């Protein structure tokens, strides 16, 4: 309990983190949130309470991104949550996301690039470099957030063995859909009002950057939060250059070794191609 109180003492002023502390009694106090969690809205009991709209989904993930940015960038030592997943994102009545459950959290001082620890977390959300080496830093949370964002967009579990073999892993399935020029088909089918092409493209681009296999290429969570709130699309190219290249709008063959940044650029080109054709 003592260690937990040291960690959460930093969190009491941030509205997107569902925890506070009364230091003199070493007592943890949680905000009462009775609107379920992200997992329940995507896959479980809360679905019967209404449609989880695209705007509400994005509001939840933006709140989550801001909370992680606070943990990683606004306090010293920074805090790596280590178990970002849909069941740990509580939702209030106004669909604000609240990051909860800091039982696996680790502190990381500014003098360290990483710590080595026993691999913990939830299968499907754990960053590959952490799973393989036990080396942990805030970029592990960024990867987990990318999976969370894809889960929110698609309504699919990160790992689902009830699906065919090429659809079991959410990240790999998403890459396959992009390779097959079917990016627009990944949206959760229960959504009554689909997002605009621009909004979908933005979400997919950001998610793919977050799940890049190379942790050094993943953005910081502060950058992620700003990109999610922006009307601009990441990796946007100059339209004149884009139109001057023959075949540049099509998704090219994607090799197994392609980075998520390369996938992201392909999403941008594909979506822009369809948008351009619709205006002619």
Domain ranges across the chain:
2-278
Give the separation between CA 166 and CA 11, rounded to whole angstroms. Answer: 40
- The pTM for the full model equals 0.80
Q: Which tens digit of pLDDT belongs to each residue from 22-42? A: 455 556 677 788 899 999 999
Q: Which tens digit of pLDDT belongs to each residue from 184-211? A: 999 999 999 999 999 999 999 999 999 9
Q: Which tens digit of pLDDT belongs to each residue from 69-101? A: 999 999 999 999 999 999 999 999 999 999 999
Is 99 within 8 Å of 88 (Cβ atoms)? Answer: yes
Residue 83 falls in the annotated catalytic set: yes
Percent of the chain whose predicted confidence (pLDDT) is above 90 = 64
Is 166 within 8 Å of 176 (Cβ atoms)? Answer: yes
CATH ID of 2-278, from 3.30.1600.10, 3.20.20.70, 1.10.510.10, 1.20.120.160: 1.10.510.10
pLDDT of 51 reads 87
Is 173 within 8 Å of 112 (Cβ atoms)? Answer: no
Cβ atoms within 10 Å, residue 34: 8
Q: Which tens digit of pLDDT belongs to each residue from 251-263? A: 333 334 455 555 5
Coil/strand/helix, residue 254: coil
The pair of structure tokens assigned to 252 is 């090219």
Give the separation between CA 230 and CA 234, rounded to whole angstroms. Answer: 9
Is 102 within 8 Å of 67 (Cβ atoms)? Answer: no
Q: Is the pLDDT of residue 183 over 50?
A: yes
Instruction: Give the pLDDT band of residue 5 (cuts 50, 70, 90).
Output: very low
Give the separation between CA 130 and CA 82, rounded to whole angstroms. Answer: 10
Annotated catalytic residue within 83, 92, 101, 141: 83
Give the separation between CA 197 and CA 195, rounded to whole angstroms. Answer: 6
């Amino acid at each position: 309990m003592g260690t937990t109180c040291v960690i959460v003492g930093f969190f009491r002023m941030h509205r997107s983190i569902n925890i506070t502390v009364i230091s003199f009694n070493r007592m943890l106090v949680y905000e009462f949130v009775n609107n379920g969690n992200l997992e329940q809205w995507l896959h479980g009991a809360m679905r019967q309470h209404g449609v989880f709209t695209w705007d509400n989904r994005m509001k939840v993930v933006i709140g989550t991104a801001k909370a992680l940015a606070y943990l990683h960038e606004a306090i010293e030592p920074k805090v790596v949550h280590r178990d970002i997943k849909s069941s740990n994102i509580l939702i209030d009545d106004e669909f604000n996301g609240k990051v909860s459950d800091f039982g696996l959290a680790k502190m990381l001082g500014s003098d360290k690039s990483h710590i080595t620890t026993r691999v913990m977390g939830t299968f499907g959300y754990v960053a590959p470099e952490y799973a393989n080496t036990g080396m942990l830093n805030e970029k592990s949370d960024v990867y987990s957030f990318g999976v969370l964002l894809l889960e929110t967009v698609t309504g699919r579990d990160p790992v689902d063995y009830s699906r065919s073999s090429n659809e079991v892993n959410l990240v790999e399935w998403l890459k396959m859909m992009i390779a097959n020029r079917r990016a627009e088909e990944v949206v959760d089918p229960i959504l009554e009002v689909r997002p605009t092409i621009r909004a979908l493209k933005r979400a997919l681009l950001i998610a793919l950057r977050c799940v890049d296999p190379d942790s050094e290429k993943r953005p910081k969570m502060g950058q992620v939060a700003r990109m999610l709130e922006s009307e601009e699309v990441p990796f946007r190219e100059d339209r004149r250059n884009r139109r001057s290249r023959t075949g540049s709008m099509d998704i090219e063959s994607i090799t197994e070794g392609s980075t998520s940044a390369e996938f992201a650029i392909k999403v941008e080109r594909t979506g822009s191609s369809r948008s351009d054709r619709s205006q002619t």
